[in-house]
Amino acid sequence: MKLPLTVKLKIACRNTLAIVCTKPLYSLLTVAAAISMLTIIIWSLNYQLVGYILTNDGLSPLQKVRFFSYGYEALFSSFDSFLSVSIISLSFLFGINIAVLTYSLRRKIASTRATGASGLAATLGILSSGCAACGTSLLGPLLATLGATSLTAVHNIGAAFSIIGSLLLLYSIYKITLQTQTKNLT
């Protein structure tokens, strides 16, 4: 019997919450993965700078940690609020996705499509930051040459990537958790 979409969504939501919220290990994994993804997105364009700071003998470990925290300020100063919210959402969804993916892998519930969606979503997430920081400077003229008439849309391409990535992650979470056996969660 084929279940209605609303029932499937309810099952997926319940399974997701059961994995992420009731199991401390997976809660921790969610947070760690989300922070990692957010850090990668913020610093992806400046990986050489990251290497310089990490290997700089003149800085204490505390100063190095503090330097990385400066990058998070960019979410609230350099990125507009819509883009910032979309990047944070994507990172949070990425964390949840990693947790449910790990859970399903441990129970040998393989989902190639979901895994592929996760990888693509992560890539788009990183690209969203690149576009936000300065990619529009490259994409803008290129797309204008190709006929794009609204640079407002191009300017928001970073947010568009984040949103597409978030949708892919939601799809991945939905597919994975739908296959999870409820009895394994009790």
Partner 1 sequence: MDAHLVGGSINVFWDTMLYFVYMKKTLLIVVSVCLLGVGLYLAFGKDDTAADQSSNKQPKATTQSNHTSSSAAPTELFIGNANAPIMIIEYGDYKCPKCNDFHQKAGKDIRREWVDSGKAKIIYRPYPLFGEDSGLALYASFCAAEQGKFTAYHDTMFSFMWDNYFSKSNFDATTQKLFSPERLGELAGEAGLDAAAFTTCAGGRTHATAYNLTVDKAASDSVQGTPTLIIGGQKIVGPQPYSVYKALLEIESAK
CA Rg value for the chain: 19
* Residues in contact with partner 1, shown as a per-residue x/- string from 44 to 63 under the rule CB under 8 A: -xxxxx-xxx--x-xx---x
Q: Which of residues 37, 41, 127, 135 is near partner 1 by CB under 8 A? A: 135
CB contact at 8 A, 124 and 168: yes
What one-character DSSP code corresponds to residue 3? Answer: P
Q: Give the chain's length.
A: 186
Burial 99-136, CB ≥16 within 10 A → b, else e = bbbbbbeeeebebeebbebbeebbebbbbbbbbbbebb
* Residues in contact with partner 1, shown as a per-residue x/- string from 89 to 128 under the rule CB under 8 A: -------------x--xx-x-x------------------
Least distance between partner 1 and beta carbon 104 (Å):
10
Distance CA 41, CA 34 (A): 11
Q: Which of residues 31, 35, 120, 151 is near partner 1 by CB under 8 A? A: 151
Least distance between partner 1 and beta carbon 32 (Å):
11
Strand ranges, E, within the chain: none
Residue 25 binds partner 1, judged by CB under 8 A: yes
Q: Which residues inside 72-91 make contact with partner 1, applying CB under 8 A?
A: 73-74, 77-78
Nearest 5°: CA angle at 68, between 66 and 72?
Answer: 105
Q: Which is nearer to partner 1, 39 or 167 (CB)?
A: 39
Distance CA 167, CA 159 (A): 12
Residue 40 binds partner 1, judged by CB under 8 A: no
Binding site for partner 1 (CB under 8 A): 24-25, 28-29, 45-49, 51-53, 56, 58-59, 63, 67, 70-71, 73-74, 77-78, 102, 105-106, 108, 110, 132-138, 140-141, 144, 149-152, 154-155
